[in-house]
């Protein structure tokens, strides 16, 4: 696999100009394969090392953006030097001063009531799992055969639980009760971009509906890449996590080659020809 041609040209030109890069990646489905049990998701060791090496290159920063809580994301990533954003852009750490949304405390209280209501609603639905987070509630139905036959039915039922200021969002085998705030992964990426400094280029790689929100938020100014099939607002597409590996390798190669060329151009060999003595 190689970079899509348009992305390859953009990356090569940017590296030659010495622009800063912010490389943002989703976790589940992008860095880690989707598993029947969410607790089984793991970041492969080789991919972790690759991200660490990429993040150590001059002018490059890596940030992992996910719907998972920060504590869970930190346990699963363990990428030295990488920033983390949890719960769909509601927090950012590892990139300057830690940030969380001002409404976090209120949403934490409200999510408790919603999680309890969702648990009662799905009591007779084997395989459904309720995950309460600080600012949202995820209703996972990957292991629920009855819901897999009619996921929209569960979605309609969950919609009836929503209180003012909350909304229902879909994902891969999950319904999420999320705050209605105009906040998402794209916002966290933009915050990290501002902290990196003027002129920083953004590359965002993701595979899910919440990543699509990020693609739209970032717009054409960013390099956006969809992992897997489906309609997308991203500018380019790759097939799966293995292709993400190849993409990261090419990014690293482009950056290193540009640095080598720059170093070579600054260091000119001294001439061995001496001026003939005057008689």
Catalytic residue among 26, 187, 211, 243: 26
Residue 102 belongs to what H/E stretch?
A: none
∠ at Cα 28 (82, 244), nearest 5°? 70
pLDDT of residue 130: 97
183-196: string of b/e by CB count within 10 Å (b at 16+)?
bbbbbbbbbbbebb
pLDDT of residue 277: 41
Predicted model pTM = 0.88
Which domains occur in the chain, in start order? 5-101+183-264 (3.40.50.1000), 104-179 (3.30.70.1020)
pLDDT of residue 270: 46
Distance in angstroms (rounded) separating the CA atoms of residues 186 and 209:
12
DSSP-assigned letter for residue 219: G
pLDDT tens per residue across all 279 residues of the chain: 567 889 989 999 999 999 999 999 999 999 998 888 888 889 999 999 999 999 999 999 999 999 999 999 999 999 999 999 999 999 999 999 999 999 999 999 999 999 999 999 999 999 999 999 999 999 999 999 999 999 999 999 999 999 999 999 999 899 999 999 878 999 999 999 999 999 999 999 999 998 999 999 999 999 999 999 999 999 999 988 888 999 999 999 999 988 766 554 454 544 443 343 443
Residues facing 132 on adjacent strands: 137
**Contacting residues for 186 by C-beta, under 8 A, at least 6 apart:** 89, 204, 213, 214, 215, 216, 217, 218
Clarify whether 208 is annotated catalytic.
no
SS (H, E, C) 3-63: CCHHHHHHHHHHHHHCCCEEEEEECECCCECCCCCHHHCCCCHHHHHHHHHHHCCCCEEEE
């Amino acid at each position: 696999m190689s970079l899509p041609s348009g992305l390859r040209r953009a990356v090569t030109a940017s590296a030659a100009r010495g622009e800063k890069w912010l490389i943002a990646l989703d976790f589940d489905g992008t860095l880690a394969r989707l598993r029947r049990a969410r607790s089984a998701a793991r970041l492969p060791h080789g991919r972790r090392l690759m991200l660490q090496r990429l993040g150590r290159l001059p002018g490059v920063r890596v940030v992992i953006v996910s719907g998972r809580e920060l504590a869970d994301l930190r346990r699963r990533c363990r990428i030295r030097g990488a920033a983390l954003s949890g719960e769909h852009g509601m927090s950012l750490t590892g990139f300057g001063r830690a940030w969380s949304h001002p409404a976090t405390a209120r949403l934490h209280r409200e999510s408790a009531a919603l999680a309890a209501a969702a648990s009662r609603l799905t009591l007779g639905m084997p395989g459904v799992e309720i995950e309460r987070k600080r600012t949202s509630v995820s209703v996972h139905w990957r292991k629920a055969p009855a819901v897999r036959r009619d996921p929209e039915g569960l979605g309609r039922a969950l919609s009836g639980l929503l209180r003012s200021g909350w909304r229902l969002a879909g994902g891969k085998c999950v319904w999420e009760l999320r705050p209605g705030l105009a906040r998402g992964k794209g916002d966290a990426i933009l915050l990290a971009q501002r902290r990196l400094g003027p002129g920083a280029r953004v590359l965002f790689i993701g595979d899910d509906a919440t990543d699509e929100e990020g693609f739209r938020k970032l717009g054409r100014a960013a390099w956006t890449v969809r992992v897997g099939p489906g309609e997308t607002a991203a500018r380019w597409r790759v097939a799966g996590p293995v292709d993400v590996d190849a993409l990261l390798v090419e990014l690293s190669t482009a950056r290193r080659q540009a640095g080598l060329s720059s170093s070579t151009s600054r260091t000119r060999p001294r001439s061995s020809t001496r001026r003939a003595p005057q008689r």
